[in-house]
Structure 1
Amino acid sequence: MSPAGILFYIALIIIVVILFSTAVTIKQGTVGVITVFGKYRRIIHPGLNFKIPIIEQLYSRISIQNRSVELEFQAVTIDQANVYFKAMLLYSVFDQSEEMIKNVAFKFVDERNLMQALVRTVEGSIRAFVATKRQSDVLVLRRDIVEHVKEQIDQILESWGYHLQDLQLNDITFDEAIMKSMSQVVASNNLKAAAENEGQALLITKTKAAEAEGNAIKIAAEAERQASQLRGQGVALFREEVAKGMTMAAKEMSQANMDTSVILFTMWTEAIKHFSENSKGNVIFLDGSPDSMQHTMKEMMSLNLLHPDQVKK
């Protein structure tokens, strides 16, 4: 091959290399940063892009997608209790503006330095917050810790070109001795609550039983009162009917010119008969002497004379 042919092929290869070096492919979710002799020139977007060979260089590819990192660190409360955190940090580039991409590209030497600064900033913010709280309050302040971190580092991250999207505290633990004591406190509080609930239930049961007993006594007393009233009315009606019967009998006997004292004598003998038939004893003692009989008859006659108007009727 002649020297001219060799030079032609060399020139062709150089031209092909230069043409290929002008084409730059940027993946979706990524932005390219172009520099000229080490100085920022422009950004290129996803797809096929072209640059000036040799003069322009692709400095870096900046991901604009969400990125996450897991954290594990320790903090100390104001009462000197060790708290162990496991967290997940979600962040991304603040926006795709040229100034923001330029800031992201040149703020840190490399990705490792960015991650180190980001992690240490978040850990420092949480440690500063926990250092002002008591061990017993940390567990219930999970949301407050997250809000405190976002408030503290959002402005810092924005100056780096990033935005903190979410911080999740997945696990918060203490030393074994503290965890055991906390479990005992919870168990004792549960026992106390159970005892209080049982006492309240017993008090309610006793109160309801007393109310029921009081109501039963009131009902029984009212029933007894009504029964006594009815018994009294029954006795009164009985006496009224007896009086009416005696009046009618006395009136008939008076019309027949008979002594009305016989009615009292009959009632007396009927009473003695009733005693003998219904009493549980075997012997009834009566004074059967003539004087006693005469005395009894006089008393009956005197009772009859107490109501002369009824006899005349």
Structure 2
Amino acid sequence: MGNFILIPIVIIIGLVLFSLAFIVKQQTAAVIETFGRFSSIRHSGLQFKIPFVQRIAGRLSLKIQQLDVIIETKTLDDVFVRLKVSVQYMVIKDKVYDAFYKLDYPHEQITSYVFDVVRAEVPKMKLDDVFVKKDDIALAVKAELNDAMLEYGFDIIKTLVTDIDPDPQVKAAMNRINASEREKIAAQFEGDAARILIVEKAKAEAESKRLQGQGIADQRREIARGLEESVEVLNKVGINSQEASALIVVTQHYDTLQSIGEETNTNLILLPNSPQAGSDMLNNMVASFTASNMIGEQMKKSKDTKTIDKGRAKE
């Protein structure tokens, strides 16, 4: 009979001890109420309370938390866009009472302020400015939330605009514009490259022509110098300049025939090519030079006569 009485007593004592002590984790605050009224705030470690009189009304995390809010709004150029705003916040350790009793749903409260700020700021900007000035939007959200949530015991650590997603049709149009712009730039570079190639090719051809002309001039200069030397040698043996010139031409004629004869696959025919052609050429050239000299002498005499007549007329 005594054992049956002892067991309930042990159970009651165990329940009392169990309700007497409790553990609060690190970075956590426990709110204690006495008969439904706020009594105290307990922090990390082993804590005690009066059984059946005091109770743990709730626990609040003191860690930094993050809330992601997705807002759809319209820009100044009438483009619908979805923004993802990440809000990092924490309960202020000295204001656990305000955070627990003044605000039931902090997530909904923060979300409402984020919606209000974003839908007030984004419609003032064009779509391109939304991407460029996303940090300005985040700062505006943080400033508004700090002023509002500090009263409720929450500290806004940071706000970030983590995603900007325009309407799919607008996004496709932006991609087409970007692709067209890149194609335009590529075409400009290709045109510049082609123009450079043309200019450099023209410069190379001009330089080639200049060098070719210089070579031809040098060749002709050497030929003239050789002819001059040949004429001087022939003059020394009693052959006058006209006969020497004719003889040189005939010699070059036979040299040309010899060069043509050495080519086995040539289709060139040089006329006249009879054995008497060289002699006829020599005679014709000598006669031509003689006639040319005679005409030159007559023109010189005629000019001198006219000069004398003019002088006499002046006298």
TM-score if structure 2 supplies the norm length?
Answer: 0.67
The 5-angstrom pairing of residues 188-267 of structure 1 reads 188-242=180-234, 246=236, 249=237, 263-264=238-239
Gaps of 5+ in 2: 258-270, 295-315
User: CA, structure 1 residues 51+206, in 2 after alignment: closer, same or farther (shift >3 Å)?
Assistant: same
Instruction: Give the structure 1 partner of residue 126 of structure 2.
Output: 134
Paired residues in the alignment total 265
Structure 2 residue matching 1:74: 3-state secondary structure: strand
The 5-angstrom pairing of residues 148-163 of structure 1 reads 148-163=140-155
Moved more, 8-17 or 132-141: 8-17
User: CA, structure 1 residues 234+128, in 2 after alignment: closer, same or farther (shift >3 Å)?
Assistant: farther
**Same amino acid, percent of matched pairs:** 25
* Residue 96 (structure 2) pairs with residue 101 (structure 1): yes
Give the Å deviation of 1:219.
2.6
Give the Å deviation of 1:19.
3.7
| Alpha-carbon distance between aligned partners in 1 of 2:178 and 2:248, rounded to the nearest angstrom | 85
| Alpha-carbon distance between aligned partners in 1 of 2:200 and 2:67, rounded to the nearest angstrom | 62
- Which of 31, 34, 42 is equivalent to 2:32? 34
Give the Å deviation of 1:169.
4.0
| Alpha-carbon distance between aligned partners in 2 of 1:224 and 1:156, rounded to the nearest angstrom | 94
Give the Å deviation of 1:90.
3.4
TM-score if structure 1 supplies the norm length?
Answer: 0.67
Structure 1 residue matching 2:165: 3-state secondary structure: strand
| Alpha-carbon distance between aligned partners in 2 of 1:47 and 1:58, rounded to the nearest angstrom | 15
| Alpha-carbon distance between aligned partners in 2 of 1:45 and 1:164, rounded to the nearest angstrom | 22
Instruction: Give the structure 2 partner of residue 305 of structure 1.
Output: none
Moved more, 182-191 or 223-232: 223-232
Give the Å deviation of 1:166.
4.7
The 5-angstrom pairing of residues 54-93 of structure 1 reads 54-93=52-91
* Residue 270 (structure 2) pairs with residue 275 (structure 1): no
Moved more, 15-24 or 70-79: 15-24
Cα deviation 1:98-131 (Å, max 9, x = unaligned)? x2323322230x2xx2110111112222222211
| Alpha-carbon distance between aligned partners in 2 of 1:191 and 1:80, rounded to the nearest angstrom | 28
Structure 1 residue matching 2:133: 3-state secondary structure: helix
Task: State the superposition RMSD in angstroms.
Answer: 3.9
| Alpha-carbon distance between aligned partners in 1 of 2:225 and 2:246, rounded to the nearest angstrom | 23
| Alpha-carbon distance between aligned partners in 1 of 2:183 and 2:132, rounded to the nearest angstrom | 22
Give the Å deviation of 1:199.
1.8
Cα deviation 1:109-154 (Å, max 9, x = unaligned)? x2xx211011111222222221110123323433443344334433
Structure 1 residue matching 2:124: 3-state secondary structure: coil
| Alpha-carbon distance between aligned partners in 1 of 2:28 and 2:116, rounded to the nearest angstrom | 30
| Alpha-carbon distance between aligned partners in 2 of 1:217 and 1:269, rounded to the nearest angstrom | 34
Gaps of 5+ in 1: 250-262, 300-313
User: CA, structure 1 residues 15+210, in 2 after alignment: closer, same or farther (shift >3 Å)?
Assistant: same
- Which of 140, 164, 178 is equivalent to 2:170? 178
User: CA, structure 1 residues 139+70, in 2 after alignment: closer, same or farther (shift >3 Å)?
Assistant: same
